[in-house]
Structure 1
């Protein structure tokens, strides 16, 4: 009787959520994140022809495109060790992707997160299974930055992807304990110094063998690498990552 009651509650909860989503769609019709036109399917057909999906030869560590298969790693990854086992990205960071991600982060377009995560799930759900991913962990923001922005874009992506792929999402594992400067404005040595002591891992975490970090953009890779090293130090065997976009390789 008790189990039946809990099942009925779950069914009722799912129906309420679906009804709420339908109501929101009526009040605020879904729009394409790239052009802003109403598009019930998310990305409109016209914009889908403009975005560049990552395919073909790519770096075996960061997923950045390389000229041909003779390059196992991109120039950056070939020069340094990393805590990252392997990572993949969805699109090249160029227009219209760059503008959409900027609006997602800085213009409070949180609804874009569901569309982006849906694209990740559609393209990389099989890869998550091959990685035997046990937990998804969003790259955290420092509390002051999160308070100013009102949300963590990586957490939105992680929760949507976790729901689509059926993988637990952990926001109680990795923490940003140091406020850092934007990485893109710094040189290599400055980036490393900037991130020193930036992350901490909960001592209560019982690490999975295979975890997946989620972030919106792979810029220099320094942030993901530092986070991965902290998770590996805490006991994770493999740390993979997925991002929405990445720059052009060699």
Structure 2
């Protein structure tokens, strides 16, 4: 109780006080834009036309992954939240993103009948610099 009084939960986007840790205020929530179909089947970016299989980038080069999905467009707010998660030790941003991904893709992931979700390991140097694995917070 004292901790919450001294260190209230803050919006992951703008820093104003919010009710719950790992959340965003209504103003920031309105700025987040969901990625909408049609999407590239490899990277998950929005593509220009329905029926288009790959985005421009994936059509031009190979990737070292089979499939990727994002939930929100990479906006200034999303860039700020990811930066805060990676370099400012803002775990609340990771908690928020994890909750949103679970809500947005939970049904899809359950349908795949996965045994689990494993965060991408962080290089030793990055782990020392950042102090924790941000992907583990999201997962």
Q: Please report the TM-score for the alignment, with normalisation by the length of structure 1.
A: 0.51
Aligned to 2:120: 139
C-alpha deviation, 1:54, in angstroms = 0.7
**2:129 counterpart of 1:155:** no
Give 1:86 deviation, angstroms. 2.6
CA shift at 1:118, angstroms? 0.6
1:34 aligns with 2:18: no
> Which residue number in structure 1 is paired with residue 45 of structure 2?
64
Q: Which has the higher strand share?
A: 1
CA distance in 1, matches of 2:72, 2:116: 23
Equivalent of 1:98, from 67, 79, 82? 79
Answer yes or no: is 1:84 the counterpart of 2:80. Answer: no
How far is 1:31 from its partner?
Answer: 1.3
SS for the counterpart of 1:87 is coil
Look up the SS of the partner of 1:139 in the other structure.
coil
Question: Residues 120-150 of structure 1, C-alpha deviation per residue, up to 9 Å, x if partnerless?
Answer: 1111100111222212121112112211211
Residue 111 of structure 1: SS of its match in structure 2? helix
Q: Structure 1 residues 123 and 147 mapped into 2: Cα distance closer, same or farther (>3 Å)?
A: same
How many residue pairs get matched?
137
CA contact (8 A) 1:31 1:38 kept: yes
Alignment of 1:38-57 (within 5 A): 38-41=17-20, 42-57=23-38
Q: Are the aligned partners of 1:51 and 1:95 in contact in 2 as well (CA < 8 Å)?
A: no
Unmatched tracts of structure 1, length 5 or more? 1-21, 159-250
CA separation in 1, counterparts of 2:92 and 2:108?
Answer: 25
TM-score (norm 2): 0.87
Find the structure with the greater CA-based Rg: 1
Any gaps of 5 or more consecutive residues in structure 2? none
Distance 1:23 1:88, change over 3 A: farther
Q: Secondary structure at the match of 2:69?
A: strand
Q: Greater CA deviation, 84-93 or 56-65?
A: 84-93
